[in-house]
Structure formats: C-alpha cells, structure tokens
A and B are shown apart, each in its own frame.
Chain A
C-alpha cells in the first residue's frame, strides 16, 4: 500500500461521461485532479451501439467512439487517470481519504461518478443460463443470434433501442413489458411499431427462463389475466433498469431508498466538498448529456469549495 503525500484538489471516481467531463474542467482549471477508473474509461456507453441524442452529432455516434473522444480530450487537457478500484472513501472535510486496491489518496474534494450496472430480473434460470442465451448487452452478444428468435425484457429507452438493434441479427424479437405502453422516446417507439420483426408482449412479466444447456423458452405471465404462456426463444436480453454502484460508500447515510446518492442542485451531498454525478445520483435524467452537465456543475462547485477548504 503506497500513500501519496500530495493532496489533490479533486479526485473523481469513475470514468464515464460525468467523471470525464468533471475531469476535463478540472484539468483545464489547473486544479490538481485525479480520475480513478477500475477498468478503462467509458462507462455504460461502452455497451451502447449508437447514441442519437447527444447534442453536436448530426449523425449517430457510436458509444465507444464518443467515450474515447472524451477520454482523449481529458488526457490532452492534462487529466491524470489511474486504473485503480476505489474500495473505501473516508469523508473528512477538506482532507477526504480515498482508498483504492493500490494506494491511498487525500483530496480536498471528491466527485463520485461511478454510474450503475444492469439490474437482474431475479427469476429462475437467469443466472444459470447467463452466456447461454441470457444477456444484458445487445451490442456484445446480438451477433451470436443470427436468424434466431429473441426476447427483450423492459419498456424503457434501453430496452426499445436494443430491441431495434437486435432485429439486425434475429429473425424475430419479442418485447416483453409489464405495462401496456412503453416509456421509451416516441421516435424509437414508432420505429418499434413499424418493425415487422418486433412483436409486443404487453402486460407481461417473465417468470422463468428455461433451457437445458441453452435457453429454449421463457415462462411469461400476463399480469392482467394471470394466464401463463411459454414463449419459444433462443435468447433473452434484459433491460429492466440499473443499480447504482456505491459499495465503497456503504457506511454513509447519503442515499435515497433505491441507493442513489442524494445531492443538492450543485451535485453536492450533505458532506461539504463531496459530490455525486450522473447515473449514480438521485433524480438523474440518466442521459449522457445530463451526466456531462452534472460533472461540470459539480466541478465548478468544487472549485468554489477549494477557496474555502
């Protein structure tokens, strides 16, 4: 365990759009800024094929390309990025301690930008058949299902966009949704309803994913009629929301009931100089553009705090 004696002005945890945006502003502001990322920067966008709603791109931009550009921009501005996993943060006004798997850092301010991970359905067969037809990443696994029958579970933007993406490979895609309307953006909804490969399974939940070695069918229950059907499928892609990543903050009471970090409008928690941005934050719009805004807002507020702290 090494301890860095130099105190940082800002330590950012997580290298998605929120963290990198804070990093760009921090480095440009010539604050001593460090970004810690456990894998490689990019966040959930590394799982996203196309981004159509990030301002400034007339055509679609690939998620990984957008994130690589943000990372390159941050590095060019002089942001220090280290590949380390944060295990614990000890809040201490003006001198927070950030413990990673490799070192300990001291920082006047901390910006938590750790994002979220896919939520599981929590039904029998889901874990056992992971990688055998159960997937949480259409861009990763869609290509393995050429001319196969797939189901997508969920009704939000991710579910709908990934279902559309999967029609490139699959012969048929069911969208299984527990309500009778989608939450996704109207533009994508229209594409779904026009797409001949997609069939909606409304008012329904998956009760079990079945398969011997590979997924063969799903037991689907209509929540209105209570009737249960078996749907023959080769794969199921699950998009039923996300869980914020905050394990390393467990001992602090800064969360809402779903585990998101509660902040004020400057992204600051009740601990002075400690911020939460992007998907990990309560009330986040959960968009790339809003994460970018969160990151910038937090950094500018942090810069104010640096004068006091």
Chain B
C-alpha cells in the first residue's frame, strides 16, 4: 500500500509548509504520460523511506493555487522541501537512485 499523501491546498500547507522534516512533492497531472511512468518509483520511495520522509502528490489541476505559487510549468516536477523550504528540484522523469541521492542529501 502506498503511503503517498494526496494534497489539497490545506493539506499542502499542513504537510509540506509546516512540516519540520523532509518532504518530496510530486507535481503531476492526470493527462501527463511521464507522470504515470514516474508514479511506481514514487510509491516505492514512499514505502521504503516511510520512516524518514513524506511523499505528497499534487494534482496541478486540483491544486492550481499551489502549482502557481511554485511556478510549475512542467510536469512531472519533483520538489524536495525541508522545514517548509524548497531545497532541491528535478523536472521530468528521474531515476529512482538519483532521487534517493537527492533526498539523502537533505536528511
């Protein structure tokens, strides 16, 4: 079972902005093929690293305020937040190993 959190504007505020820790946020959309390709990787990371980080999924259509606030112009975009601050990001498909490296660098 995936432990990914589905964001709303409120949930995003609570789980990402006010979170004292590392959160991986996936900005993606229903109509985006590569987002679907990335999903299994994110689900695995959210399971395997459940004790260290949270993984939050933001549907840019449902949370257009959040997507706008972070200037999302491409999906999928992954942003790593630490203590509510944006600390790293990657755009497009990314290999699981390099994503884990980016996360580990923030832990």
Interface residues of A (CB under 8 A from B): 38-40, 42, 45-48, 63-64, 83, 85, 101, 130-133, 135-137, 139-141, 143-145, 213-214, 235
Contact = CB atoms under 8 A, between A and B. Distances in A.
Contact of A85 (B89, B92, B95): B95
B41 interface: yes
A39 B32 contact: no
Given A135-B74, A141-B74, A47 B33 contact: yes
B104 to A, nearest CB: 17
B74 A64 contact: no
A118 to B, nearest CB: 10
Which residue, B29, B35, B89, B97, has most C-beta atoms of chain A within 10 A? B29
B93 interface: yes
Contacts of A235: 73
Nearest to B32: A140
Contact of A133 (B29, B33, B37, B73): B73
A95 to B, nearest CB: 28
B17 interface: no
A259 B43 CA distance: 34
B77 interface: yes
A5 B51 CA distance: 35
Contacts of A140: 29, 32-35, 74-76
Interface residues of B, number: 25
Contacts of A214: 71, 73
A139 B41 contact: no
Given A131-B72, A137-B34, A144-B74, 12 more contacts: A40-B36, A42-B36, A46-B34, A46-B36, A48-B33, A64-B33, A130-B74, A131-B91, A131-B92, A139-B31, A140-B34, A141-B74
A214 B68 CA distance: 13
Contacts of A48: 33
8 contacts: A42-B36, A46-B34, A85-B95, A137-B32, A140-B29, A140-B33, A140-B35, A140-B74
A154 B71 CA distance: 26
B99 interface: no
Contacts of B29: 140, 143
Given A132-B71, A132-B73, A140-B74, A39 B37 contact: yes
Contacts of B31: 139, 143
Nearest to B95: A85
A38 B77 CA distance: 19
B71 A213 contact: yes
Given A46-B34, A139-B31, A143-B31, A39 B74 contact: no
Interface in B14-41: 29, 31-41
Nearest to A117: B93
A117 B60 CA distance: 25
B95 to A, nearest CB: 7
